[in-house]
Amino acid sequence: MKLNAKEMRTVDENVVKAQINNIKRHPIYFILENVYDTYNVGGLFRLADALGVSKMYLCGEMEIPPNPKIKKASIGTYKVVPWEYKKTVKEAIDNIKYQISNVKCQKLSVVAIEQDKKSIPYTQIQYSFPVALIVGNETYGVLPETILLSDYIAEIPMWGINKSLNVIVSAAIVSYRIMDKLVLMSNDK
């Protein structure tokens, strides 16, 4: 089932819920921390749907669906992307680890997308699966205590005057790099 923007906005949640189980999910999780702009939250739902992420976690001080602005910006993808609210990123990470604990030899890789003295270019990270990507607040980024929970801190190079990219753009750049690796791994099998 593929729906355009108009169809996604108007599709009945009960109708689409029957189709959700047929969507191929990838071993990628999005964790949003204190993302204040509801349009960014909605846009991240769209990105999560495009990638077929396993689940999206909304953490901290932020709006959650069915907020009207999230509904509008997500074009209804909040109906098809599995999501859950957690008070902290640590709770979200623990939840993912619990979910994957039944799968033999899986260790969650946690990557914060952030500028930090310990960050490395996102292109130099050896991504492994399952992977959780953390994005933070539009003004102050990922919290320092959350950075400590990360295996890697991925930085996107910036060559202009502006110090950072929009949170959706940053998540898209890194997650599509990860999808390239996942596709290559699938082709090697």
Residue 31 pLDDT > 90? yes
The structure's pTM equals: 0.92
* Greatest alpha-carbon span in the chain: 47
C-beta of residue 109 within 8 angstroms of C-beta of residue 153: no
Closest CA to 169 of 116, 113, 85: 113
Tens of pLDDT, residues 66-119? 999 999 999 999 999 999 999 999 999 999 999 888 776 679 999 999 999 999
Number of CB atoms found within 10 A of residue 139's CB: 9
C-beta of residue 28 within 8 angstroms of C-beta of residue 54: yes
Domains of the chain: 5-188 (3.40.1280.10)
Number of CB atoms found within 10 A of residue 128's CB: 16
Closest CA to 177 of 127, 110, 111: 127
Mean pLDDT of 145-158: 97
- 10 Å CB burial of residue 82 (0-12, 13-18, 19+) is middle
